[in-house]
Chains A and B, each alone.
Chain A
Amino acid sequence: MPKVSVVLFPGSNCDHDVVHAFRSLRIGAPQGEVSVDLVWHASSELKDPDLVVLPGGFSFGDYVRTGALAKLSPIARAVHAFAAAGGHVLGICNGFQILCELGLLPGVLLRNQGRTFLSRQVHLRVEPSPSFFSSPETEGRVVSCPIAHGEGNYFADEQTLAELEDHKQVVFRYCRQDGSVHPEDPESNPNGSKHAIAGICNREGNVVGLMPHPERALEALVGGASGDRCRELLETYAKAVFHARALSDKSARISA
């Protein structure tokens, strides 16, 4: 049974949305249901999950900087080791901010350009990347998804941005409904992110961070018609992650 660990920090508030989302994924009978557990940040170990999710919220009250204090939590070391060994880590919203502070992803999330907290729908374009969100079926797809953040303005220096583009590490960009990207347009890139970046991955693709909240929109009740697209997105990702893990377990057994 695929296993997802959701890390709970003091101030996380999207943890149960993530738990619900992964438990509700329809990823096919052969792999069975998804088991999801919550791991308190003071724990210093992970229990061999297939995927670790850092959920949204306001860990440690956003003191010092968003995500900054989370990196001193005992679980941070375990997440580092897990990622370094090729384990899949997904950070959503505050989870993305934490991954940047941990140094697992480059850059930082600044205050939104327009100064206000933004809680609204945006359009995202799925970019070609080494992450498991990208596949021939999903690349170029436009997904309507909610955002809810005060600090979502992705920033990195020009060299880092060039490296991200060269290695195709941009996973999602904010875009218009027709899929066109306009970084200078505050309507389609509402927080002012460089290169209209909404989500990135590391070079290997196993660590992904994104500001939008697909996990909030899976149910028709809250996601409406666009919820299906968010569901497909997470299902595509989860299936690929669990499949990769099953394959690596199998090859480990063969080589042993």
Chain B
Amino acid sequence: MSKSFKMQVLVRLKPGVLDVQGKAVESSLRAEGRSVVTNIRIGKLIELEVRADSEAAAREEISALCNKLLVNSIIEDFEIRAA
């Protein structure tokens, strides 16, 4: 009997890949005088529900979805976790 699993995917830019969004936030903070915050990298959090027989099967399904669409492995890494 399959169950519904609430899961999350964290998508991060790989180290070294230019993150202009992070840089923009950092420079705005610096302009405001908050120079103690550095190395900002902005990723994304994807929440989803998967119907599967087990959490392992749900993770496998999400992993396939990440490789197919949600993540570009040239520039991004991902991490799956239970919500």
Contacts and interface: CB of A to CB of B under 8 A. Distances in A.
Interface of A: 64-65, 68-69, 71-72, 101, 107-108, 110-113, 115, 153, 155-157, 192
Contacts of A65: 72
B17 A155 contact: yes
A69 B17 contact: no
Given A115-B23, A115-B24, A110 B17 contact: yes
A192 B23 CA distance: 15
B20 A113 contact: yes
* Chain A interface main SS type: loop
Nearest to A108: B74
Contact of A68 (B17, B24, B72, B74): B72
Interface of B: 17-18, 20-21, 23-24, 69-70, 72, 74-75
B18 A110 contact: yes
A179 to B, nearest CB: 27
Nearest to A151: B20
B70 A156 contact: no
Q: Which 10 A-B pairs have the closest CB atoms?
A: A111-B20, A115-B20, A108-B74, A108-B75, A115-B24, A108-B72, A65-B72, A110-B18, A68-B69, A113-B18
A192 B17 CA distance: 12
